[in-house]
Chains A and B, each alone.
Chain A
Amino acid sequence: MAEALIEVDDLSVTFRSEHGRTLRAVDDVTLRIAEGAVLGLVGESGCGKTTIAKCIAGRVAPSSGVVRFDGRELGLKRATEDRRAIQMVFQDPYSSLNPRMTVRHVLSELLRVHRLVPRADIETRCRELMSLVGLPRGALDGLPSQFSGGQRQRIAIARALTVEPRVIIADEPVSALDVSVQATILRLFEDLRSRLGLTVVFISHNLAVVRHLSDRVAVMYLGRIVEQGDRESVFSDPRHPYTRALLASAPRLHQIELVRPTVEGEPPSPIDIPTGCSFHPRCPRSEEMCTRDRPSLEPVGTRAEHFAACHFREEKSPEAPEEP
């Protein structure tokens, strides 16, 4: 693969649960993120997508494996410029903004502490940041409670941009927003990416959002990446049954008849990961070998940019789920 800005190799994160058992949140994940690209990380709750993001941002220590940025290995303790280079934006901007600080206070403090601009230019820079995220200059005097959800998310993005990052990791940034507002924030991400050349890791459970915004997509299930590739390969010809199930369940605007579920049951607990392929208990395609052998992420056919962790990855997407 071409040179990547972020390289994640064999990353695993385990947490200790209350009864001394081990919870494997991230299991042997390898990822490459090219500079200026948007990687969509998809999966359902508890699949480990946020934990990966936190490892990249240096907020969670990996149990094993490495995170490299620009060719250098990054641990939990990072130099100031490395910390500045990777910024996170969260789902709920209200809980991630100090309710007693005006927007100007938040931004100017960052500019001062990091000595990003001369003191005299702080106000100018604050105004530039506001216009960058599409807020009026007057918003600088506001407190978080005075803004709507979409405006708060813009403020959170402005705060992340204050320290001039190269990478933004956005964790479900539009999930709490109404549809009409969602579209404006997605546009903002597209705009920032083209204007500032930002690299974006976009975490979402919403496939429509990910398909719209990403160049590459990684689908996670129970701590593992089960399918990865360029957007169109993954969405138009998914090769992992879990990706297919996700796509089949995605809400569609113009589908009048009811979608029957293609997968049964619920994801098992990450404390008790099934043997073999961890998706086999719910998989419509599973066979005896799936209960024993864990498939690794392998290329699909001769495609250079499409990988799936399924024994049957060479089978083309069926129109309907197979009968058992």
Chain B
Amino acid sequence: MTPVLEVEGLVVEMRRHRVAFRAVDDVSFALEPGSALAIVGESGCGKSLTLRAIMGLLPNRGRLISGRVIVDGVTLPSDARGRGRGHRQHRRMSIVFQDPLSALNPVATIGSQIAEAPRHVLGLGRGASRARAVELLRLVGIPDPERRYHAYPHELSGGTRQRVMIAIALSSDPSILLCDEPTTALDVTIQTQILALLADLRAERGLALVFVTHDLGVVSQVAERVAVMYTGRLVETGPTAAVLPAPRHPYTSGLLAAALDVDSPEREPVPIPGSLPDPLRLTSGCSFQSRCRFATPECMTTDVRLERVGPDHEAACLHSDVLAAAQAAGRRG
């Protein structure tokens, strides 16, 4: 199948104290219609910036240095801020943020905010765009949509606001939905509902999903593919069902060992030693080497890139086979 979204060699520079550093460094991936990719990593790894660069919403301190975003085979035009100048293909993508309250207009009814894109982007008439907004409210599972059309954001709960954000994102009839930690601020029972909604939208509308999260427990529920990000780079990508049980990058394996699992309370979480390197002082070689128990002198000099380690599975580590052997030994012992 031809991919609906291709990201090639995305590089974003951010400025901090007048010094520029690479916050997103050579990120590439492709997404087929109806498929989902989870990008997982800790704060500051560049996962949200990647989404913003794709969407053309880089903050003022950010600059798109290079890279291409291709939607349905058409390369989107972009300037240094990653802005796509309202290209027709650009409208095939929508984004949902973590905090719906700051993304919604507090003085407009939710209905009018959903009807905006149908009216002004799709060019529907007033009545038709209104009807479409009501239909979208129903689609995202908001009861009594005709009445709720007139509600203001502050009258709604966090979960309902996030449903409204999804309705707005769907209102321009996109084929790609970019999600930036959409359930992080929600309670778990509500998170489950939103994840189920996204899964239904994928199945029913063939929507492709890029889902950014810090929560490994969510990854397996939303996406069949996962990309692990560390200091601006993808360090491991592959099928979720292959990566989580047998990670081939020490950072992925460290994240999994540090996470608690509600089903195995006796397992002690093992923290990753050290802390995130200062992005302004990144040295040559692998950026994880100072925290890595498999590191050798080569890791300080070699510029490691993603390499194939299994079917459809890549890792950026010189010693991924050593890690695999250690895991096998651990399972046997």
Contacts and interface: CB of A to CB of B under 8 A. Distances in A.
A205 B188 contact: yes
A19 to B, nearest CB: 14
Contact of B196 (A206, A211, A245, A261): A261
B192 A179 contact: no
Contacts of A178: 42-43, 214
Interface string A62-84: 00000000000000000000000
B244 interface: yes
Contact of A179 (B157, B216, B221): B216
Interface centre among A150, A180, A235, A248 (most CB of B within 10 A): A180
B269 interface: yes
Interface in A208-259: 208-209, 211-212, 231, 235, 245-259
A254 B191 contact: no
B265 A246 contact: no
Contacts of B199: 258
Given A205-B187, A211-B265, A251-B218, A259 B157 contact: no
A145 interface: no
Interface in B152-201: 157-160, 187-193, 195-196, 199
A184 interface: yes
Contacts of A235: 262, 265
B260 A266 contact: no
B254 interface: yes
Give the top 8 A-B pairs by smallest Cβ distance, nearest first: A251-B217, A183-B269, A44-B187, A208-B260, A180-B272, A178-B42, A183-B271, A208-B262
Given A179-B214, A254-B245, A256-B241, 13 more contacts: A178-B214, A179-B259, A183-B269, A205-B188, A235-B262, A250-B188, A251-B191, A254-B261, A255-B217, A258-B195, A258-B222, A259-B195, A260-B196
15 contacts: A44-B188, A44-B189, A180-B271, A180-B272, A183-B270, A186-B269, A205-B187, A211-B262, A251-B218, A254-B244, A256-B220, A258-B199, A260-B192, A261-B189, A266-B157
Interface of B: 42-43, 157-160, 187-193, 195-196, 199, 214-218, 220-222, 240-241, 244-245, 254-256, 258-263, 265, 268-272, 275-276
